[in-house]
Amino acid sequence: MFERILVPLDRSPLAECVLPHAIALARCLDAQLILLHVLSLPDKQDRLRAVDSLEWQLRRAEAKSYLHEVCVRMTEAGVSCVTQVSDGDAAEQIVECARENAVGLVLISSHGQSGLSEWNISSVVQKVIVRVRTSLMIVRAVQLAQPDTVTIRYQRVLVPLDSSARAECVLPLAAALTRLPETRLLLAHVVQRPQMPRRTPLSQEDSDLADRLVERNFSEAGEYLEVVRSQLPSAATETRLLIADHVACSLHELVDQEHIDLVLLSAHGCSGQMRWPYGCLVASFIAYGTSPLLIFQDAPGKQDAAALCNASGR
C-alpha cells in the first residue's frame, strides 16, 4: 500500500512528534521511512550576503549527523530507514523528494522550528498540502515526542463514509491499521437534513417531505454501514449513524465525544469534485481538526481515481 513514507524533520522537538506515528505505520504497513532534512536558503533580506561555504558544509554535516541518530532509533525499533539532506525552500524540497522517491505517504508535523501559532498548521505544511498530491498525514504538534517512541496506540480510529466509492478507498488502509494492538475502527455516516432556504417558514408539506427524505436516507445508510462493517474485522469495528444539519460539525463533535486518536479520510467523497486536491470535509479537518489526520489521496497527480480504488481493494 505505502512502500515508502516520507518524514520531514527540521531538528525541532515539535517536528519529532511524528516519530512514534512513523514507527507504528512503518511496522504495520511494512514500509520504509525516508527521513528528510532541508537546509533552508537565507532569508530574502540576507540573500545579497555571500554564503559562507564552510558554514554551509558544517550545517550539512550537523544535519546528516542528526538524521543518522534518528535513523538509528528507527532501526532499533525494527523499521527500515534511509536519510536525505536537501538544499532550498523547505516546502518545495519536501514535495520534490516525495515525487522523486515515489513516496506513498508524507508524514508531517503541523508545526516545526518556527514554533506553535494560532494557525492550525504552519505555512510550510500549508504549501506541502496544496502541492504534494499524495497521501498525507498531519500530526498535531501539541505534545512533544516521548522518549519511548514505540508505544503509540490508535485505540479509536474514525473513518467517515458517505456511501461513495471514493470515500471507501480508505478501507484497505483502515483494515491494515487493525493489525496494530488495541486499534478499533469507528465507521461513521452523517445523514444531512436537506437544506431548503426560503424567505418564509416552510409549509407543513415541505417539512413532511424533508422528514421523509431523512428517514429514507437514514434507513439506506444503516444498511450500507452494516455491509461495510461485514467486510472488516468485526471484533475491531463499530458504526455510528448520525442525523445533523452540518456534516463536518457533526464529525468534529464525534471526534471529541469518542476521544478519537486518528481520523482517516479519503481526499474526495461523493461530490467527486476533482478541481481541488481535497474535498470540503477534508479541508475542514485540515483547518480545524485537533486529532492526527491521515488523508488517503484517491487521485494523486493525473492518476485515474477509479483505478486506484480498484487497486486498493474496491
Residue 194, C-alpha cell as written in the block: 436537506
List the chain pLDDT tens, one digit each, 314 residues. Answer: 899 999 999 999 999 999 999 999 999 999 999 999 999 876 654 555 666 788 889 999 999 999 999 999 999 999 999 999 999 999 999 999 999 999 999 999 999 988 888 889 999 999 999 999 999 999 999 765 555 556 688 999 999 999 999 999 999 999 999 999 899 999 999 999 998 887 888 889 999 999 999 999 999 999 999 999 999 998 899 999 999 999 999 999 999 999 999 999 999 998 867 788 899 999 999 999 999 999 999 876 644 444 444 444 44
- Which residue type occupies 58? L
pTM for this one?
0.90
Angle at 8 between CA 6 and CA 12, to 5 degrees: 150
Domains and CATH numbers, the chain: 1-43+54-152 (3.40.50.620), 153-314 (3.40.50.620)
With b for 16 or more beta-carbon neighbours within 10 A and e for fewer, the 248-274 pattern comes to bebbbebbeeeebbbbbbbbbbeeeee
**30: Cβ contacts below 8 Å, ≥ 6 apart:** none
